[in-house]
Structure formats: C-alpha cells, structure tokens
Amino acid sequence: MLIKRVITAIWGVPLVLVAVWFSEPLTWFTILMAVWGLLAAVEYQRITGVSGTRPLAAFGLVWTLLFIISPHFTHGLTLPLLLTSAVVLSLALLLFLPKKDGVFASWAWTMGGILYIGWMVSLLVALRLDAGRTWVYLALLATFASDTAAYFIGRFFGRHKMAPRISPGKTWEGAVGGLIGAVIVSLLFSLLGPVRLHFGYLTAALLGLLISVFGQAGDLAESLLKRNAGVKESGSLLPGHGGLLDRLDSILFAGAVVYIFCFLVII
C-alpha cells in the first residue's frame, strides 16, 4: 500500500503542479480540475445511488462541469443563474421521471454533489484566475504536506483515535503532525523568494493551521459519506490512494479556506 501511494504521488503531484503553472494556450488547470471533478462526481454518484437515476445523474454531471468552469465567465449573473437553474430545472426533471418513489432523495444527493464538488472545485479555479498560481501552489502543497505528515505520524506514532466511528485509522497524533506539516509549508511561502507571498510569519502560520484543520475536516466529511454508503474507498483509479474523490476531499475544503483568506484578509 505504501509503495503504491509513493508511486502515484511521484507522477500525480508533478502533473498537478505543471497544470497550475501553464495557462497558455489553454487553461490547463481548469481542464485538469474539470476532468478530475467530473470523475470524482461519477464516484460520488455511484456511492450515493444517484447513478441509478440516469436523467438526474446526467444533469448532475453537466451542472457540476458548469460550476467548475464558471469562474471564466465574469458576468455578475453567472452564479445566480447557475444556482437557480440547478434547483428549478432539476425539480422540473423529477416530473418526467417514470419512477416516482425515492426521487426526492436522489434529487437531494444530486444537488449535494453539484455543490460539494462543482462549487467547491470552482473556488480553486477562481483562485488560479484571480490570485495567481502561487496561491494555488500554497493551497495544494500545504494540503499535501498536511495529509502526508498526518499519514506517517499517525502510522508510526498514533495511539489515540480521533474519530473511530467515522475513520478508525485517524489519530490525534496524526492530526497534530498534519498541522505542523501545513504550517511549515505555509511559512516557506513567506520566506522563499521565487514563490514568496507578502504576508508575515504569524499570518503564514495561521493560514497553515486553517488549511490543515479544514483539509482534515474535508477528509473526515468524505469518510462519513463513505461510511453512510457502506464503502471503503470512493474508487480505485489512484493505486494506494483510492478514488479521485478520496484525493479531492481535503483539497476542496482547504482550497475554499485559502480563497476566502486570500480575498478577505490579504487582498
């Protein structure tokens, strides 16, 4: 398992970092996030049962994609239009489904997936477009550092279970290790010239803590989703890591907190 995790990280992390760096002639990061988000949405639909209602499943995928690419459309009505159409059109779609039993449960899961994946991934895309590649690097690398430190510290030194009913493998020792890993990476972005962001050490440390806390919360939230669905992994596309949703869960929450922190506190 450990070897598979390392091999996947060796090719996966550089791929993401290169996609963030280059924006010409295509917006590669948006393309990567769109593909990743749609595949994660397919996994989400499979484990929640939405895939059994094909019209709603197709609707959910289309609107998830629209949300992900929405930051490229700067008109002020883009978001209200997307939200309104997602609710109204999906509810109207229910009227035409041949099977009426349980459709509102499928509708709720569909809307949840659109917001959980589509809207949250769109914040990462917006961060790249509006704040630049360095802020995205901070969000991604600090999250990777938090996940990696939490995994290894928890694996070798973990003794006290953090949330045994949600994710039995997670420990408080691992959580603290994740906090330290994210803070160290965040501090590097206040020190190193090529990727330096202009904020002080205390601000960097605070942001690192927030990234780790929210990233771990996102991981636990997805673990709770899987536990309710009775599955261990969202998929098997990433050897040693599970599915794409398993790798996206912490990034979704961490990216959101970096986006809010960037535009409310820094800029």
- In one-letter notation, the amino acid at residue 105 is A
- Residues 52-89: tens digit of each pLDDT: 889 999 999 999 999 999 999 988 899 999 999 999 99
pLDDT band at 240 (very low <50, low <70, confident <90, very high): low
Instruction: Write down the pLDDT at residue 151.
Output: 92
The answer on pLDDT for 238 being more than 70 is: no
Instruction: Write down the pLDDT at residue 2.
Output: 60
Instruction: Write down the pLDDT at residue 131.
Output: 93
pLDDT band at 264 (very low <50, low <70, confident <90, very high): confident
Q: What is the dihedral of CA 66, 120, 164, 232, to 10 degrees?
A: 30
Calculate the average pLDDT of the chain.
91
Instruction: Write down the pLDDT at residue 241.
Output: 58
Greatest mean pLDDT among 9-13, 29-33, 229-233, 236-240: 29-33
Instruction: Write down the pLDDT at residue 127.
Output: 96
CA-nearest of 122, 106, 121 to 57 is 106
Q: How far apart are CA 157 and CA 113, in angstroms?
A: 35
- Tokens standing for residue 160: 């006290």
pLDDT band at 207 (very low <50, low <70, confident <90, very high): very high
The answer on pLDDT for 234 being more than 80 is: no
Q: What is the pTM of this model?
A: 0.92
pLDDT band at 1 (very low <50, low <70, confident <90, very high): low
Please give, one letter per residue, the 3-state secondary structure of the chain: CHHHHHHHHHHHHHHHHHHHHCCCCCCHHHHHHHHHHHHHHHHHHHHHCHHHCHHHHHHHHHHHHHHHHHHHCCCCCHHHHHHHHHHHHHHHHHCCCCCCCCHHHHHHHHHHHHHHHHHHHHHHHHHHHHCCHHHHHHHHHHHHHHHHHHHHHHHHHCCCEEECCCEEEEEHHHHHHHHHHHHHHHHHCCCCCCCCCCCCHHHHHHHHHHHHHHHHHHHHHHHHHHHHHCCCCCCCCECCCECHHHHHHHHHHHHHHHHHHHHHHHC
C-alpha distance from residue 110 to each of 98, 101, 246 (Å) = 18, 16, 18
- Residues 163-205: tens digit of each pLDDT: 999 998 999 999 999 999 999 999 999 887 677 888 889 999 9
Out of 30-34, 42-46, 194-198, pick the least confident. 194-198
Region 238-252: mean pLDDT is: 81
Burial of 15 (0-12, 13-18, 19+ CB in 10 A): exposed
The answer on pLDDT for 9 being more than 70 is: no
CA-nearest of 21, 187, 156 to 148 is 156
Domain ranges of the chain: 2-266
